[in-house]
Structure 1
Amino acid sequence: MEQKHPLPPFTLDTARQKVQLAEDAWNSRNPEIVCKAYTTDTEWRNRAEFINGREEVKAFLTRKWEKELDYKLKKELWSFTENRIAVRFEYEWHDSNGQWYRSYGNELWEFDEHGLMRKRYASINDVAIEMSDRKLS
């Protein structure tokens, strides 16, 4: 059976580790790598979009990083329970016209017993910024 360590139940240390692993994977901007952290039947809400299953996640991420260029993400653990983690995050990116944005949000994650994420609910807002205002690099 596929496993993605650390496994639940989470402690403060393993929850922080899970968040850092997610940040590292997303900063790779590689949909093949990122989608392996999710169950094959994962359920997502990303902004107003509903995504079901690992293959839809991969397609979504491919579209995302074709639009959100030079993407850089920072996640922070907000809270956790046995198999759930809440994070806050911000990321910066620019569009094909060179306009930079900082996106802020919160995610609620639920994991199965194998450490794969089965649910991800994300609320995200974008703010246009000047390149000189970037904080992440």
Structure 2
Amino acid sequence: MTNEAPRSPLPPFTEETAREKVRLAEDGWNGRNPAKVALAYTPDSQWRNRAEFPKGRKEIEEFLTRKWNKEMDYRLIKELWAFTSNRIAVRYAYEYRDDSGHWFRAYGNENWEFDENGLMAHRHASINEKPISEEERLFHWPLGRRPDDHPGLSDLGL
């Protein structure tokens, strides 16, 4: 447990609050502000992300800074897969280009566990990516929050 202010929605999750939590996470990551995003995690949060295992907010912030410096024009969509009282599983896809102008789409699944204040204590991510052409891109909103009327993963057939 942390001594920080609660970060709604709080567990135990309902389908509605789990969907809200997923959208808030998507919005945060699309904002690409590592310091702000790191505040959604407990001070001692533990991650597994590909071959990296950040622990704590400082390492999470450093990880996200490296990530978004490398993955330009980053746009992400997350979708609720399942939930229990304090855990949420999501699937997601994101598109980005590298500094050579090559585009990629990454597909992944995440398992999240929250403390009673709604902060994420554990994040386990599995990710695959493939090169795509600029014509294959599906995420075309302006950088930042995905518009409410933009299709989600299931709507896009992803």
What RMSD, in angstroms, separates the aligned Cα atoms of the two structures?
A: 0.5
**How many residues were matched structurally?**
137
Mind listing any 5+ residue stretches in structure 1 that lack a counterpart? none
Task: Please say if 1:73 is aligned against 2:76.
Answer: yes
**Pairing partner for 1:88 from 86, 91, 96:** 91
Runs of 4+ in 1 over 2 A off after TM superposition: none
Residue of structure 2 equivalent to 1:56: 59
**Pairing partner for 1:101 from 100, 104, 127:** 104
Q: Deviations over 1:40-92 (max 9, x none)?
A: 00000001111100110000000000000000000000000000000000000
Pairing of 1:33-48 with structure 2 (within 5 A):
33-48=36-51
* Structure with the larger strand share: 1
User: Within 2, Cα distance between the matches of 1:38 and 1:62?
Assistant: 16
Mind listing any 5+ residue stretches in structure 2 that lack a counterpart? 141-158
User: Within 2, Cα distance between the matches of 1:26 and 1:92?
Assistant: 13
User: Within 2, Cα distance between the matches of 1:32 and 1:135?
Assistant: 28
Normalised TM-score (structure 1): 0.99
Residue of structure 2 equivalent to 1:32: 35
User: Within 1, Cα distance between the matches of 2:49 and 2:112?
Assistant: 12
User: Within 2, Cα distance between the matches of 1:124 and 1:59?
Assistant: 19
